[in-house]
Structure 1
Amino acid sequence: MTQERLWQILDPLWADPRILSALFCGSAAAIVLLKRLGHRRIQQKMEEARRARDLALERMEKAARRFKQENPDTQTAHILSLTMVELAEKLKEGSLSPESVLYSYMGKALEVNREVNCVIDFIHGCEDQLQKLKKQKEKGLLYGIPVSIKDHIDCKGHISSGGLVKFLGQVKEEDSVIVQVLKSQGAIPFVKTNIPQTMINYDCSNLIFGQTLNPLNHQKTSGGSSGGEGALIAGGGSLLGIGSDVAGSIRLPSSFCGLCGLKPTGFRISKLGVISPITGMSSVIGMLGPMARDVDSLALCMKALLCEEMFRLDPTVPPIPFNEEVYTSSKPLRIGYYEEDGYFQPSPSMKRAVQQTRKLLQEAGHTIIPFEPPKINYMVDELFTRGIFSDGAAHLVDSCKGDIVDPNLKSQFNTYRLPAFVKRILAIILKPIYPRIARDLSALCGVGSAKNLWDQHAAVAVYRTEFIAKWRKQKLDVILCPVLGPAFNHGYAGKLFAATSYTNLYNVLNFPAGVVPVSTVTRADEEELKHYQGYYGDPWDKRLKEAVEGAVGLPVAVQCVALPWQEELCLRFMKEVENLSRGIRRNA
């Protein structure tokens, strides 16, 4: 049939409004039906994933119960009370068995999970790993230590969901490099933990596995994106966890849950076998790292990971073993410090934590020097936000196609998916009223071209050089500064992604940075919060005040920073802070 003949047939139809109406209604109905069918398929996939999780946890519970029945004399309370270093020593000398430790932690993890919903899978291969340990002649540095693993890190025989439906059903055939190295050192990965949808959020909620609560206060988030790790360790269900960090995702849950966490220099630990919704983004450096209850546990983990096995499995990792001499040094340090960054006014407890820690360090004989990080507004907007979303957030938006957006991410996500021209128009309109929000919207447009991306990478390098020059001029060893906290009320993290300025700076710079709890929120802090105005008086400042309200008694942390490849010095500084702040934490 010719095109002309086709139009002759169709032409009378277009003239009849009843036919047009029927076509329109039919098309609309078809779209609605397809959308409903799509949502039903999504719901089915999520229900299947939840059923698989429930079955895995039932299997875990049966195994823990069976061991308890067969070994009624196991000193579970004693095992759970030991630090990781103490436990490692007892396991190595044989006064405790790996079985008693693993099943004690399995039972405790189940208990914590029932309370706060932080575990999304039981790594059933842990029982096989237990049997392998009996046959090994050499006991690794982490012999018999149970380890929890963040959802998106591959474990053989399990999915890495990323909190997204698109990854469900993709069972991994191999362990990630970091899991292989942990096993080679005698560790026993035993559970996977919850994350926020897409992981570009520091809440901990997705529609597949639900919301994770803060074990210290259920009205608060555990933080994210390593929030399942934070909740499980803080609740006592794990000694050591592996998280990841591209804007503070190890450090923020550590801050919110009262833990120690380390973001190493990029590429010091292998990232092979880790999924991401923004694969290919290289403007801002993401990293895997450990989370634990104390600094010595982090150091032991880093010492175990930085071994020949990791360097063999991933030749792109620089073969730099852990420097024990630096970590155990007692030489006085030259410490730069700042109490605020000029982008987000710190909460009263954040600022007080730095002030108290600075005073303790000075009294202990360290040299304390004021330091002002250069051009923080420029760093946040042009280097971090425009860098991490250099594609205008296209990859992130694409990752949610065929999914339902979690309510905790919706505010953030709706902004990302606006067309670039709409973001630019809104930025122009908002600039006179809310300049910070306007700059953020402009940055979310991305870079626009390959040339601009190269220019953006060059700008990061220039900024890093300028920062290091200032550091060198003041002859600093390390820096002490705030970390966002205390723990947020539910629903606020997704509306305040830009509040990560205190942590995302060190992803842009690619410096190692760690978090140490030093105090708790006081009633005086809460009273002072009533007068919090922020730097801009915009909706973000108002939200931050609301986000941290009602936190009396919750942990407050500080951030410790060193130059690239100096994880050992960073940890040594963290250890000093931890030791000096113990008296404050006991008396708080």
Structure 2
Amino acid sequence: MASKTWQEIARAAREHRDQSLAEVKPPLPEIRSEDLPLNVTAIPWKHLSSFEIELTETSPEKLVQSLASGKLTSTEVTNAFLRRAGIAQKLTNCITELLPSRALARAAYLDSYLSIHKTPVGPLHGLPISVKEHAGMQGLGQNAGFVSWWDRTAPEDAHSLQLLWNAGCVFYARTTQPQTLMHLETSNNFYGETVNPYNRSLTSGGSSGGEGALLGMRGSCLGIGSDIGGSIRSPAANNGVYGLRPTSGRLPLSGFAATMMGQEHVLPVMGPLSTTLEGCKLFMRTIIDQKPWLKEPSLVPVPWRTNDQARFGAKNGKKTLKVGVLWNDGVVKPHPPITRALKEVVEKLNTVPDIEIVDWKPYKHDLAWEIIASLYFADGAKEVKEAIAASGEPWRPLSHFIITENKYCKELTVPEVWNLTLQREKYRVEYAQLWNETAVDGDPDTVVDVILCPVGPGAAPPLDHARYWGYTAQWNLLDYPALVFPVSTVDQDKDVVERDYDPMNDQDRWNYELYALDKYVDAPVSLQLVGRRFDDEKVIEALEFIKETAQI
């Protein structure tokens, strides 16, 4: 490592990626980046066959049905996704490497198994799944966005990948992540910036931004991300797909690479991004049904809880889905497209007899950020700084933002960590009480079921400008499950700038001044549903009910 400069290592990484793309057959088309429009989502249609387009735009839940029945082969589906992922890379810079040889060998095995045994390997038989790079794959690199970690390899597949493999999936693509893994964007010194397929001047989000862009391009239908402050939800929202931040302890995390591994005061989670809500549900159920806590005892032994009867619907004349609406967190006001989307969704929900809408009052969200931002880097970011310095690579702008410009980032003593952990627990108790107080006449069955709120203070921001984490990190501190879903896109006629707005603080002023409508052409607009701890299934079922009854 010492004999090579960071530039030489980065060049080797890009050459490795390009070589993996060159192995895709038939060869991928040449695409000149200087000739690209801002919105590149339609370009794959020019270069793929109608059959490849049909396969890659089919939902994961329908693909697994066709694969299990033999209507489709895993080989043809894998080939289609390899080609579309390769094109997505050329358009958005979202891939660290494709895995054509591995993936097609696995697909051939699965096709043979189905032909011989007349039964699928498991519930994901033949389904291609993309993987954020810091999830370990045996024998492959695992750099977590640091140039100095380029030569690190995973000794085995991450636990979650083992379970997905047992269920019959095909791993075919690895996706980009940012330096430090602590950006709501995706940029590093290996590959540069991963951009948004709907508007290449905007970010794809982060830190699972490669997954977000790949799914937005339909180069994947189901992918693996991780989240410690919004890293699944930001990319899902920015690229118009679904993403779930589960409660910690539901899904296995062993085998992922990052600095500060072992810290327990802000627990990261892994989870799905998908082109459909059912894809997220399929992912969760498939892993949890295999009882991952038997191998990873830190996990909570809670089975995936399904209901024979619908959880929501009319019962005894009562409304049975109660939605609290958080319009504003009291720190940074959302941009006009986000507020409009909230209003439009609420208007639709108000037409459904079995849904009750109430306003949710934010509770000290500024304090929540102070606590979590202090706990993120309890070592003063020493490990992160050392990992960057080891190769001599430059700091990315958002690495500076979250570390050197973060007034809460400082080395803590053990008693200081204990004190902040107590503050975290006190805040969780107070927020739980706020939730309990939504009950009518003390009836626990009448509390708010889910909170509907923004995913961020705006649509996907311009590159290097995702500087407000409050709408996502809030739920990491509370350890609440949060599910992102697409709603609309920025509307040039409706989403006009609010004139003469008086910002609440410096962060709010920065966000307000960032909004200029012409920046956000074609940007997806998404929202999130949030539930109480371990209400992961309830959050999914609430969105299913909302989509069915309110047609969202």
Q: Indicate conservation of the 8 Å contact 2:212/2:241, yes or no.
A: yes
Confirm or deny: 8 A CA contact 1:327 1:571 kept in the other structure: no
- 2:505 matched to 1:528? no
- CA deviation vs aligned residue, 1:497-537 (integer Å, no higher than 9, x gap): xx11011011001110011111221224542255555321x
Which residue of structure 1 lines up, in the alignment, with residue 40 of structure 2? none
Query: What residue is the counterpart of 2:43 in the other structure?
Result: none
Aligned-partner Cα distance in 2 for 1:204–1:129: 30
Taking the TM superposition and a 5 Å limit, the aligned residue runs for 1:274-293 are 274-293=256-275
Other structure's SS at 2:202 match: strand
User: Matches of 1:143 and 1:530 in 2, distance apart?
Assistant: 54
Residues 105-159 of structure 1, C-alpha deviations (whole Å, 9 max, x = no match): 1111111111111111123422332233233645211111100000110011211
2:350 aligns to what?
362
Matches within 5 A, 1:317-328: 317-325=299-307, 328=310
Which residue number corresponds to residue 364 of structure 2? 375
Match of 1:126 among 97, 103, 106: 103
Structure 1 consecutive aligned stretches of length 4 or more whose deviation exceeds 4 Å: 37-40, 61-65, 529-533, 579-583
Do the aligned partners of 1:151 and 1:192 also contact (CA within 8 Å) in 2?
Answer: yes
Superposition deviation, residue 410 in structure 1: 5.4
Q: Name the SS of the counterpart of 1:60 in structure 2.
A: coil
In structure 2, the partner of 1:518 is: 487
2:373 is the alignment partner of 1:395: no
Q: Who is 2:522 aligned against?
A: 553
Once the two structures are superposed, residues 433-486 of structure 1 have per-residue CA deviations (whole angstroms, 9 ceiling, x without a partner) of xxxxxxx52x2235x311111111111111111111211221111111111130
Shift of 1:564: 1.2
Q: Deviation per CA, 1:166-205, whole angstroms, max 9, x where unpaired? A: 2211222211011111111111111100111111111111
Counterpart of 2:32 in structure 1 is: none
Q: Is the 8 A contact 2:56 2:220 kept in 1?
A: no
The 1-side partners of 2:503 and 2:158 are apart by 43
Deviates more, 1:304-313 or 1:513-522: 304-313
Give the distance between the partners of 2:181 and 2:305, measured in 1 at CA.
32
Alignment partner for residue 541 of structure 2, among 572, 578, 581?
572
Alpha-carbon shift at residue 355 of structure 1 (Å): 2.0
In 2, distance between residues paired with 1:49 and 1:73? 30
Task: Choose 200-209 or 309-318, whichever is displaced more.
Answer: 309-318
215-224 vs 482-491, which moves further: 482-491
The residue aligned with 1:53 is: 17
Contact 2:332–2:507 (Cα < 8 Å) also in 1: no
Q: What SS is found at the alignment partner of 1:527?
A: coil
User: Residue 215 of structure 1 contacts residue 222 of structure 1 at CA under 8 Å; is this kept in 2?
Assistant: yes
Matches within 5 A, 1:369-448: 369-381=358-370, 383-403=371-391, 404-409=393-398, 411-412=400-401, 415=404, 441=407, 443-446=408-411, 448=412
Distance 1:324 1:314 in 2: 23
**Structure 1 contact 526–552 (Cα < 8 Å) conserved:** no
Give, in whole Å, the separation in 1 of the partners of 2:230 and 2:363.
20
TM-score norm. by structure 1 comes to 0.82
Structure 2's unaligned 5+ residue stretches are: 30-47, 314-319, 439-446
2:489 and 2:524 in contact (8 A); partners too: yes
- Name 1:6's counterpart in structure 2: none
Question: Residue type of the partner of 2:102?
Answer: G
Which residue does 2:66 correspond to in 1?
Answer: 90
Per-residue deviation at 1:307?
Answer: 2.0
From 137, 159, 177, give the equivalent of 2:141.
Answer: 159
1:479 aligns with 2:456: no
- The equivalent of 2:77 in structure 1 is 101
In structure 1, stretches of 5+ residues that fail to align are: 1-36, 66-71, 417-439, 584-588
Conservation of the 8 A alpha-carbon contact between 2:291 and 2:301: no
**Residues 519-563 of structure 1 deviation map (CA, whole Å, 9 limit, x = unaligned):** 221224542255555321x36633553266421432111110111
Alpha-carbon separation, structure 2, partners of 1:396 and 1:562:
32
Q: Where does residue 232 of structure 2 map in the other structure?
A: 250
Residue 108 of structure 1 aligns to a residue in which SS?
helix
Q: Output the CA distance in 1 between the equivalents of 2:236 and 2:290.
A: 29
What is the rounded CA distance, in whole Å, between the counterparts of 2:328 and 2:284 in structure 1?
Answer: 30
For 2:104 and 2:246, locate their aligned partners in 1 and report how far apart those are by CA, in whole Å.
30
Tell me how far apart the structure 1 counterparts of residues 208 and 150 of structure 2 sit (CA, whole Å).
Answer: 19
Distance 1:85 1:284 in 2: 33
How many angstroms does 1:317 deviate by? 2.0
- Structure 1 residues 464 and 237 mapped into 2: Cα distance closer, same or farther (>3 Å)? same
Q: How many Å apart are 1:407 and its aligned residue?
A: 3.7
- Aligned partner (choices 415, 419, 425) of residue 455 of structure 1: 419
Matched length? 510
CA offset at residue 314 of structure 1? 2.2
Looking at structure 1, the residues matched to 296 and 309 of structure 2 have their Cα atoms a distance apart, in angstroms, of: 25
Equivalent position amino acid for 1:445 in 2: K
Q: Measured at CA, do residues 73 and 80 of structure 1 come closer, stay the same or move farther in structure 2, by a change above 3 Å? A: closer
Task: Tell me the distance in 2 between the aligned counterparts of 1:577 and 1:391.
Answer: 43
CA distance in 2, matches of 1:97, 1:51: 31
Deviations 1:29-71 (A, max 9, x none): xxxxxxxx97952222222222222222222346889xxxxxx
Instruction: Quickly say closer, same or farther: Cα 1:506–1:199, change in 2 above 3 A.
Output: same
Q: Post-superposition shift, 1:398?
A: 2.1
Q: Distance in 1 between matches of 2:91 and 2:449?
A: 42
Residues in 2 aligned to 1:117 and 1:299: alpha-carbon distance in whole angstroms: 28
For 2:221 and 2:60, the matched residues in 1 are separated by 6
1:313-335 deviation line (CA, Å, top 9, x unaligned):
32332232222218953333111
Q: Does the CA contact (< 8 Å) of 1:529 and 1:545 recur in 2?
A: no
Cα 1:555/1:350, change in 2 over 3 Å: same
- Aligned-partner Cα distance in 2 for 1:131–1:284: 41
In our comparison, the structure showing a higher alpha carbon Rg is 1
Instruction: Quote how far apart the aligned CAs of 1:354 are.
Output: 1.8
Q: Distance in 1 between matches of 2:512 and 2:497?
A: 14
CA RMSD after TM alignment = 2.5
Aligned to 1:206: 188
Q: Distance in 2 between matches of 1:452 and 1:151?
A: 33
Q: Distance in 1 between matches of 2:81 and 2:2?
A: 40
| Residues 1:76 and 2:52 aligned together | yes
Do 1:326 and 1:568's aligned partners in 2 also have CA atoms closer than 8 Å? no
**How far 1:582 sits from its partner (Å)?**
5.0
- Aligned partners of 2:28 and 2:86 also within 8 Å: no
What per-residue deviation string (whole Å, max 9, x for no partner) do you get for residues 224-275 of structure 1? 1100000000001001011011110110111111111000001210001001
Q: Residue 184 in 1 paired to residue 166 in 2? A: yes
Instruction: Give the AA of the match of 1:84.
Output: P
Q: Calculate the TM-score normalised by the size of structure 2.
A: 0.87
Note closer, same or farther for the CA distance 1:200–1:59 as it changes in structure 2 (3 Å cut): same
